[in-house]
Amino acid sequence: MKTNLFTLFTFLIVLISCTEKENDNSSESINIFDFKPLNLEKHEIPATIYLPDETFNIGASTEVEVNHEEGDFKWEIAIGPNFKFKIDDWGDDKQILEAEKDKLKMLEFYKITFIKNTENKIIYKRELKVDGITNASKKVGTEHITYHIFEMKEINGIVYVLKNNDEGSSKKIVDLLDKSFETLKSNNQNS
């Protein structure tokens, strides 16, 4: 009897662990359990985006700040001092991502390493090129690395660019921005 119970218990544990692995759709799945929706309709974007809450320990407050002047084509959204991003309205310009990639190729003082490079998004590491690093004093800070995200989203025929600040962010913040940007969806059910 004990052997049968032990065999049944072992079988159930194996079955449960296999089921959990099947439900894990890799890192591409978006778990927004600890994210809160922000309806951008009152800020002239007919869409909703999900933003991380205070449980992520990123210096985020519970207050979301949206800076936008009515009729303008730019928005700045922040939750605390670390989690900040911009949204720009580019009308019907679907070439803006390629233009951004071309701009990055022209940077002489930075080494750009693409982490993600798709038809509508780039995530990259920007590292300051330091001449004379082999002879530099140990006291000289030579590691100047920032992470960046630039994503195009089309909502109701309008191309929006979502990006972090030009100064860049930590990898953790860019990963959270990536998750948030993936959730931006039109409020119009037909889009």
DSSP SS3 for 137: coil
pLDDT at residue 18 in the model: 43
What is the pLDDT averaged over residues 159-176?
Answer: 94
pLDDT at residue 163 in the model: 98
Asked, for residue 13, whether it belongs to a domain, the answer is no
pLDDT tens digits along 79-110: 888 889 999 999 999 999 999 999 999 998 89
Q: What is the DSSP string of 102-128?
A: HHHHT-SSEEEEEEEE-SSEEEEEEEE
Give the range of the structural domain holding residue 45, as residue numbers without chain letter. Answer: 31-186
pLDDT at residue 108 in the model: 87
What is the pLDDT averaged over residues 46-67?
Answer: 80
Domain CATH code at residue 178: 3.40.1000
pLDDT at residue 54 in the model: 73
Number of folded domains that form the chain: 1
